[in-house]
Amino acid sequence: MINIAFGPVPSRRLGRSLGINNILCKFCSYDCIYCQAGRTINKTTERRAFYNPEDIFKSVEERINKLSNGKIDYLTFVADGEPTLDINLSKEVEILRDFDIPIAIITNSSLIWRDDVRNDLLNFDLVSFKVDSVNEKIWREINRPHKNLALDKILESMIAFRDNYKGKLITETMILGNINYTEDSIIKTAEFLKELNPDRCYLNIPIRPPSEKYIKFPKIEVITKILSIFNEIIGKNKVELLGKFEGNDFVFSENVEEDILAITSVHPLREDVIKELLNKANISLDIIEKMINEGKLIKLEYNGKIFYIKNMKSRNIY
């Protein structure tokens, strides 16, 4: 069985999330400078089929059946590319309803101007939109969008989607240390989010290895300034600053090597987390060295921590 489903993994937004990687590495409409999945190999805005919907269903079913206990809060479409590029999205959500678990999607929102994408997203219980900036220059610098994308069209379509969407809508805005955020750009982004009126606006910082080595943590004064403006315009009750480590509540099955590869294709794992998980499973850390020697994993340091990520073309910059 293809390793499409992975986890559950602890999510700072979604609780215990069973991930669904429905996109081949790395098809995306953006090439974000901070992406933990590495650089975009296939930058595209064209939707296509990646997996048979039945294979996705079987992968999720197999993963759920392997779990002896533990609640799953969401089945989450979170890929090492842009999940809305999957043209079979609606069909997949429809058949996954058999599990009676809420279904979420984490999207960069770049294809929301397409009628078919908006219609697909209406079927989800929770939608997470990326809104790093509504400033054209900053958007291009951070997200490095496909040449066919227009920011104003994306923003207008997000508002149109919100008018018809009945589920839970959240947004995520990444704050980086390499970006010159003007006060006007921060205010405009906050004003757009206020108009969009999501249930929750999350501010984030890069806590895992980004695609570009030059990415730095933002200074505390920059974080404080952006948080203050967001709180004032959007409201403190709707804004939350992320950035803390989400914990080690990952779940491994009897095939630990397979699980590690499935998780690290989307979600780089810290060394201390892997050590604790392997210790709980009474498995030697030698398995990690074996996977590195076989070229399956990459070991790297970021912000003073050691991480392990799956060795794929998008990560070869390391």
Q: Do 126 and 167 form a contact (C-beta atoms < 8 A)?
A: yes
Higher pLDDT, 10 or 225: 225
Rounded (10°) CA dihedral 115, 140, 108, 32:
140
Closest Cα to residue 95, out of 65, 75, 118? 75
pLDDT at 254 over 70: no
Nearest residue to 59 (alpha-carbon basis) of 25, 95, 104, 88: 95
Report field, pTM of the whole predicted structure over 0.95: no
Q: What is the mean pLDDT of the chain?
A: 88
SS3 of 73-120: the string is CEEEECCCCCHHHECCHHHHHHHHHHHCCCEEEEECCCCCCCHHHHHH
Give the Cα separation of 276 and 132 in Å (integer).
34
Categorize the per-residue pLDDT at 304 as very low, low, confident or very high, splitting at 50, 70 and 90: confident
Calculate the CA dihedral of residues 177, 34, 264, 204 and round it to 10 degrees.
Answer: 60
* CATH superfamily membership of 5-241: Aldolase class I (3.20.20.70)
**Bridge partners of 86?**
48
Does 318 have pLDDT greater than 50? no
pLDDT class for 264, splitting at 50, 70, 90?
confident
Q: What is the pLDDT of residue 252?
A: 60
Q: Which two tokens stand for residue 287?
A: 């398995």
Give yes or no for residue 317 having a pLDDT over 60: no
Element of type H or E holding 263: helix 256-264
Phi, psi of 191, deg, nearest 5: -65, -40
| Residue 69, both tokens | 């206990």
Give the C-alpha separation, 46 to 86, whole Å: 9
> What is the per-residue pLDDT for 1?
47
pLDDT per residue as tens digits for the range 127-165 = 999 999 999 999 999 999 999 999 999 999 999 999 999
What confidence tens digit (pLDDT) does each residue in 177-234 have?
Answer: 989 999 999 999 999 999 999 999 999 988 888 888 888 888 888 999 999 999 999 9
| Separation between Cα atoms, residue 37 and residue 265, nearest integer Å | 7
Is the pLDDT confidence value at 19 over 70? Answer: yes
How far apart (Å, rounded) are the C-alpha atoms in residues 298 and 127? Answer: 31
Contact 2, 59 (CB under 8 A): yes
Question: Angle, to 10 degrees, between the axis of helix 183-196 and the axis of helix 220-234?
Answer: 40
pLDDT of 200 reads 96
Mean pLDDT over 61-84 rounds to 88
CA distances from 223 to 11, 56, 170, 242 (A): 21, 39, 19, 11
- Report CA 236 to chain centroid distance, whole Å: 24
